[in-house]
Amino acid sequence: IRGARLAASFGTAGGRSYLAGGMTSWREERRPVKAIERLDVEALHERKEQDEALQILDVRERSEWESGHIPSSQFLPYHDIEAVPEGADPERPVAAICGSGERSGVAASLLARHGAKHVIHVVDGGVGTWGKRGWPLERPQHVAAD
């Protein structure tokens, strides 16, 4: 089911879509090819320390976000990406992060499709790995009802 949801977010249905001849055929026909930069969590941390323009988009589910997220990151589940998120600058680099690297791959592709100029796919871990390395995580402050 999860694979089907990931495929559906790319616009494929029922697992019936494929690229005849694969990427080799695509390149031989001199069709356009674009790449999305990939970083692991450690490299993302280094980049965040050095590049104030870097935006981080957490594409996990709300319950995951509320359990802890990278300070100053934005939140939008991968399956809700229909444009560059409000408040994000499509001219600045944006790194998509999740819990493992799967959902962030889908999100990175969607962000690029919707006009983000420099998209980064965070691979080999995610927010949990960030926390395990001892780097800060934020949790929302819930105000108790009177």
Residue 56 token pair: 């981080």
Hunting for tokens 């980049």 — which residue is that?
Answer: 47
Single out the catalytic residue among 84, 94, 98, 119: 98
DSSP secondary structure code for residue 92 in this structure: S
CA-based nearest residue to 92, from 46, 58, 36, 53: 53
Q: Is 58 a catalytic residue?
A: no
DSSP secondary structure code for residue 138 in this structure: B
Hunting for tokens 């871990």 — which residue is that?
Answer: 125
The terminus-to-terminus CA distance of the chain in angstroms comes to 41
Catalytic residues: 98
